[in-house]
Amino acid sequence: MSDRWLLRGAQILTCDPDFADLPRGDVLIEDGVIAALGPDLRVDNCRILELDGKLLMPGFIDTHRHTWQTPLRALGGDWTIMDYLAAVRVKLAPAFQARDLYAANLAGALEALDAGITTLVDYSHCIDSPEHADAALAGLEDAGIRALFSYGYAPGARESSALPTPASRMEEARRLRTTRLSSDDRLVRLGIALTEMQIPWESSRAELLSARELGVPITLHCSAWPVQGPSEIQKMAAEGLLGPDVLFVHCTWSPEEDLKRIADSGGSLSVTPETEMQMGMGFPITGRALRNGVRTTLGCDVVSSNGGDLFTAMRLALQVERAQVNAREGLPRALELKAARVLELVTRDAAEAIGLGRRTGSIRPGKDADLIVLAADALNMTPLNRPRDAVVLQAHAGNVESVMVRGRWVKHRGALLDVDLAAVRRRLLEARDAVLERVGGSATLLSEREELTKHWDTGSGLTPAKDAR
């Protein structure tokens, strides 16, 4: 008999343009796929979950997360972008061994699932050897999350890196594409994360073309500080290299023309409000991107500094956007960016942005069952007057009761399933201890900062954001 679930009697937010929200409805799931949606479905031979008083909606999609930084949680709570680069990219990244990446990705993906994130784009730029890549990938797979494992082409900072050249890293991505990640039907698929474009343009072009040859989605950090000379978007546009398969991250300093170029190409943007505001990258550009027609999504970025759930990201993105408009225009007659719109950025729009629009991102027959159940009967959501607004403005990760990925419950009635959480925690703590020990302890983390700042000011052609307006 096929595996059938009837989720009955929930208030349903479909997040789908063709299917209206239902104040009370049912969803039938067959073999991991949404088979039917409507009020009072009459179905036999299935397991039933009664969801009276609950909210059922598509799982969230985090389009930018460096999952490997999970063991570094909160170390960078007071870090600027320069502190972050000095500590994490220069100092800590080379100290990660394959087993640490496994522990980090397993725990980080479980943390995401626990908070209702059923899909994430894992920007994995801590790969120093084939073993690193295999371990990072295994962590995502063992967690049971849907993900793009976006293989980072950035060079390992370790002097003895097993992947010392761009060619060796591209070859390694090809190995994954022709072996473990050859199928696009798997929950975890391959993507490519480009090296930040401080490298020569020829190298960036080669990385882009490599990703296109592999036929996988591309993502890159972009314009998080003022750029001297043509931006990466302008360079890509000049050579016809923009496209719907590119997900830009940040773009806080992108001029209007660049945003229009992204929109015209069908590309997308990931805004990570919390890191952008903390680290001095300028203000998040959610409203400006939407006004320019850019498909806009949200990401958590790094738990080494901030929160790992999209409730926080949604709220910050919405309210900082409103604050900026209000500061510019005075007492508003109406708020331009609506709360309900923000919910689409982490569901339907995010799925489209990473090429998964036909599989996930909304509740619609034929899509995979990536669903979450929220405790709408919790005090912080009662009375549920405007459900979409309540999810964006009032809900938190603790309200996520159950989570299903492609028809399989990974969290049920408040508890993650099929996972030894004590062992996950133990591995994570061991990874934290091992990495910090290899760098000589947490007191040393910013020791390279001054050196890096000198290089930054004089050698890179870039200047950090000084006036974040």
Min separation Cβ 140 and Zn ion, Å: 17
Nearest residue (CB) to Zn ion, 14 versus 124:
124
Min separation Cβ 276 and Zn ion, Å: 10
Min separation Cβ 3 and Zn ion, Å: 37
**Residue 24 · residue 11 · CB < 8 Å:** yes
In 3D space, the residue among 192, 189, 99 whose CA is nearest the CA of residue 141 turns out to be: 189
- Binding-site size, Zn ion (CB under 5 A): 1
Provide the mask over 270-309, with x wherever binding to Zn ion is found by CB under 5 A and - wherever it is not: -------------------------------x--------
DSSP letters for 55-119: EEEEPEEEEEE-GGGGGGTTTTTT--HHHHIIIIIIIIGGG--HHHHHHHHHHHHHHHHHTTEEE
> What distance in Å separates the CA atoms of residue 435 and residue 111, rounded to the nearest whole number?
20
Cis amide linkage into residue 383, ω under 30° from 0: yes
Which residue minimizes CB distance to Zn ion? 301
**Residue 46 · residue 4 · CB < 8 Å:** yes
Nearest residue (CB) to Zn ion, 26 versus 301:
301
Q: In Å, how far are 115, 139, 192, 329, 360 from 348, measured between CA atoms?
A: 18, 26, 22, 31, 8
Provide the mask over 153-192, with x wherever binding to Zn ion is found by CB under 5 A and - wherever it is not: ----------------------------------------
Q: In Å, how far are 5, 38, 334, 370 from 43, measured between CA atoms?
A: 10, 12, 45, 21
Min separation Cβ 74 and Zn ion, Å: 17
Nearest residue (CB) to Zn ion, 250 versus 406:
250
> What distance in Å separates the CA atoms of residue 106 and residue 144, rounded to the nearest whole number?
9
> What distance in Å separates the CA atoms of residue 176 and residue 190, rounded to the nearest whole number?
8
> What distance in Å separates the CA atoms of residue 145 and residue 188, rounded to the nearest whole number?
8
Nearest residue (CB) to Zn ion, 29 versus 154:
154
Nearest residue (CB) to Zn ion, 16 versus 301:
301
Provide the mask over 8-47, with x wherever binding to Zn ion is found by CB under 5 A and - wherever it is not: ----------------------------------------
**Residue 19 · residue 56 · CB < 8 Å:** no
Nearest residue (CB) to Zn ion, 108 versus 387:
108
Min separation Cβ 271 and Zn ion, Å: 11
Exposure string over 251-273, b if 16+ CB within 10 A, otherwise e: bbbbeeebbbbbbebebbbbbbb
Q: Is residue 31 classed as helix, strand or coil in its secondary structure?
A: coil
Min separation Cβ 279 and Zn ion, Å: 10
Min separation Cβ 221 and Zn ion, Å: 6
> What distance in Å separates the CA atoms of residue 431 and residue 434, rounded to the nearest whole number?
5
Residues 6+ apart with CB under 8 A from 440: none
Q: Where are the beta strands (DSSP E) in 182-337?
A: 188-193, 218-222, 246-250, 268-271, 295-298
Nearest residue (CB) to Zn ion, 152 versus 355:
152
Nearest residue (CB) to Zn ion, 114 versus 301:
301
Min separation Cβ 284 and Zn ion, Å: 13
Min separation Cβ 91 and Zn ion, Å: 17
Min separation Cβ 299 and Zn ion, Å: 8
Nearest residue (CB) to Zn ion, 62 versus 301:
301
Provide the mask over 379-418, with x wherever binding to Zn ion is found by CB under 5 A and - wherever it is not: ----------------------------------------
Nearest residue (CB) to Zn ion, 248 versus 311:
248
| Residue ranges binding Zn ion (CB under 5 A) | 301
